[in-house]
Amino acid sequence: MGADQAGSGSLAAARELGALLAERGWIVLTGGRPAGVMAAACAGAKQVRNSLTLGILPGADGAGSDVDIAVFTAMGDARNAINVLTSDVVVACGVEGPGTASEVSLALKAGKPVILLAAAQAARVFFESLGTRGRLIGADAPIDVVRLIEVDLAIPRWSP
């Protein structure tokens, strides 16, 4: 998850993370649009043979070119709930906008593990203040996210 107008650090992290997740056989789910963190994560994933990307889109069109399966919800921002509830773990690449913040909040409310990748300290402090009870994890680099998912969360791999 991440902003459509993200900074260069978040975009680079999302691209690297998308590739690392795909290398391990996980499906990369994003908001599906051809912008920001969504496009970067999918582009990274598509560097890997047999990868699978899933985009949950807010409208009736507009999927990014690196999205394999597009789900056109026509739900606007309400589709954030689908993004979160479909995910085994939610990774926020920076928390640079209200959409990403809403996805993090929805994930925490649903009891999903949330990893904040390279998020500003203020964002971490805010979400921790909500009483997240260990479901909120910080990571500084994409490889740290992968280790957390593989070891601490033990998320199973997808096989084509």
Query: Digits of tens for pLDDT over the chain (160 positions)?
Result: 998 999 999 999 999 999 999 999 999 999 999 999 999 999 999 999 999 999 999 999 999 999 999 999 999 999 999 999 999 999 999 888 888 999 999 999 999 999 999 877 778 888 888 876 668 888 999 999 999 999 988 887 765 5
Q: How far apart are CA 65 and CA 57, in angstroms?
A: 13
Q: Which two tokens stand for residue 72?
A: 């056109």
Q: How far apart are the first and last CA of the chain?
A: 23
pTM: 0.92
**Domains of the chain by start residue, with CATH:** 8-152 (3.40.50.450)
Q: How far apart are CA 53 and CA 134, in angstroms?
A: 28
Q: How far apart are CA 98 and CA 120, in angstroms?
A: 14
pLDDT tens per residue, range 144-154: 999 999 998 88
pLDDT tens per residue, range 118-154: 877 778 888 888 876 668 888 999 999 999 999 988 8
